[in-house]
Structure 1
């Protein structure tokens, strides 16, 4: 761990916060458990009984199953795309470009934010893969780069741009048929992406946000003397593999075993069964994939960009991945590997759904939202919506899930103040993404890929969160809608 003694003021700030977070931050699963107790206590303070709170907790466990599956699909389809050989070759080329640690951190951050805007699942996994590969290449090329900050750069798509982009759950939910807001009469109709994701207000936020974050990452990069490279966190043999295993005492046996395996593989390849041929049929996989992609393309041709929703996004990326891999067996294997990366999310999603159930049924959500929006004016409301989302996201790190709970209160306040609902949704989405830099839930796949613990990198994530506050507060208020 680098010290906080040298460098500029902003570099020392990042190092000091990192030291404190590394000392105090629990694991992501324990983080969720602690938050459960905090919300339980908050519900008791409003006059709810312990048995009632347990009931709210249990009922909430199952309230996000559909949405959880949609989120898992976004993550898994993005993972499969990120590990396609074409994408891997592009990552290898891009990570060879930087000549120093600052350039490396900025490149990883910008790529993560841009790709996450296109597809947050792809951005999260690609950001992690790029960060690890950049760390590996920096080690090989003797470039000093601070690996914890590099991993935070790979997470910046989830910490800034994802909820303003093409797979943004709250904006897309508002344009999904039969959504809870329409069914409960909160809004009279769908809010199309032209009023949220593709509105000039949102596009300006995206461009300016990426530029600002890139500058902050550049300034945060520690001096060469205080960097911790990738081998401080990932064993070198895991990065480059062990050479000449046959030189060990069991070398001859290993060589013989490998030869037998090679012969078996050759025999299978020489005489594949009909089932194996079907499994690896590029024709069968390619046709159905092409059909799916063409169907989605036709939907967008007919309805324009306003056809974008969670369902169309998942459908499109599912079949785009199959189209790239073509052979069903290859895509299936990559999909299975991707599913393993979602284990932590699947485990914790019900806990956070339970937290949401306690917050919603106990009245905590309503008290929080009403307190914040009561101090708003039409000019300050976007910033207040951002802060509201940021606070709630710490307890319920599910952009669309928390929006279904807090959204009706926020929308009612926006309508009373005359604030456009598209702007309200985007401002809320900004806050939800922003505090992912404090909440480690969505970082779980990245932690697995990069070999990091949450406490190793979240000091710099928290520093980024703090340094983004003035920019977001001003931009949300000043940029016209």
Structure 2
């Protein structure tokens, strides 16, 4: 069977691209080598920066692991399983599943980068299980590609940073509101173009697909999502067992959490939505929907195993960021890149440079803090609009996520649970998106007004 061109590229990527964890180890070594080669940093100082950087993402990693395990507890409940089956009766064909996954992912990711992946991954997994003929690798790629516009949305790290009084305000010449970044003509037109373009690209990829690998093909034999619930359905015999299975206890705490969440959103609106809030929503949702406290605990423990990739890899990238920022490599490369820029080429050079740097420092906040002190003054000197420079950095940071598996780990715990799916199985399908969004953002930075 002759594969389509997109399938051939994706299979090549899967065959030759290393596992996400191995890539993190390789990038760690490269960061160490660059620090010693391009700066006067000694080997022991490099190791010191690495040692200090690793814990910097401990909190972030735990937040994500907790959130995803709690979200999977909700997926395990009978009421959600019934809802998923109902949704699959509305989305009846593989093509409609592909299209709706991309649209849902784009909308939810624009609202919140920490919110979109959970909703989109659950939806993609659910329809892939229920509808025959869906290629699970492709729908996983579509779900992940929708993350492309996440940090250009209302939860974008860099636009929110420049819109807030802080240590970067003086460099910027004052606060830059979201109307000049997130809600600028440049950004809104670019977002619309990206959503339309990626939808069309995946439509033609799906239409020409020859090889279909379904969820069932990748499922681990004997794995059952409802196994935890089934294992605890024996009738309690002792007082302790009766207390353990006393459902109102779990409901009481869940109801208390729900009351405060409602109060929070009434008073703060979407401003209340952040990673911590999403984690609490997942926790409260599971408490209200699960059978009892012990069922909840066992389901959470079972699903936490699937988040191991986050716990292993995020701290490694914290170490890489520590090396590149602490040794001065990031600053050295930044100064060099902007040294030969002009007013016309600066946004594009900045976009390309931050895209490359993103491979090593995929955290937008860490990257911006390391490079803004050079990139923003250079833009001002060259006469480039500061909001345009800010968006060039934002776009570059997002661009190479299509080949950098760091953020794919937001989707992986849900998509891969109970399957043999790996990140490299679906990341190859994102390569056409990398090219397309790169062209859109370059054209936007060159020609679109703020």
Superposed displacement of residue 206, structure 1: 1.8
Aligned counterparts of 2:345 and 2:77: Cα–Cα separation in 1: 45
Q: Quote the Cα distance in structure 2 between the aligned partners of 1:259 and 1:326.
A: 18
1:443-454 matches, within 5 Å, as: 443-448=408-413, 449-450=415-416, 451=419, 452-454=421-423
Q: CA deviation at 1:267?
A: 8.2
Q: Is contact 2:158–2:364 with CA below 8 Å preserved after alignment? A: yes
Q: Give secondary structure in 2 for the equivalent of 1:264.
A: coil
Which position in structure 2 is the counterpart of 1:195? 180
The CA RMSD measured in Å over matched residues stands at 3.7
Q: How much does 1:391 deviate?
A: 0.9
Correspondence 1:186-265 to 2 at 5 A: 186-187=171-172, 189-221=174-206, 223=208, 225-235=210-220, 238=223, 261-264=233-236
Alignment of 1:289-328 (within 5 A): 289-299=258-268, 308=271, 313-314=274-275, 316-318=277-279, 320-321=281-282, 324=285, 327=288
Please say if residues 382 and 423 of structure 1, whose CA atoms lie closer than 8 Å, have aligned partners that are also in contact: yes
Q: How does 1:78-89 map to 2 (within 5 A)?
A: none
- The equivalent residue for 1:146 is 135
TM-score (norm 2): 0.82
Alignment of 1:45-444 (within 5 A): 45-48=37-40, 49-65=42-58, 91-98=84-91, 100-139=93-132, 143=133, 145-158=134-147, 160-176=148-164, 179-182=166-169, 185-187=170-172, 189-221=174-206, 223=208, 225-235=210-220, 238=223, 261-264=233-236, 272=243, 279-282=249-252, 285-299=254-268, 308=271, 313-314=274-275, 316-318=277-279, 320-321=281-282, 324=285, 327=288, 333=297, 340-444=305-409
CA contact 1:117–1:157 (8 Å) conserved in 2 = no
> What's 1:23 paired with?
15
Residues 286 and 477 (structure 1), Cα distance of their counterparts in 2 relative to 1, 3 Å cut: farther
Residues 98 and 188 from structure 1, CA distance in 2 versus in 1: closer, same or farther, beyond 3 angstroms?
Answer: same
Q: Unmatched 5+ residue regions in structure 2? A: none
Indicate how the Cα distance of structure 1 residues 237 and 59 shifts in structure 2: closer, same or farther if over 3 A, else same: closer
Report if the CA contact (8 A) 2:35-2:329 is conserved.
yes
Q: Which consecutive unaligned segments of at least 5 residues does structure 1 have?
A: 243-257
Whether the 8 Å contact between 1:342 and 1:445 is mirrored in structure 2 is no
C-alpha separation in 2, matches of 1:119 and 1:83: 24
Closer, same or farther in 2 for the Cα pair 1:266/1:399, shift >3 Å? farther
Distance 1:34 1:470 in 2: 29
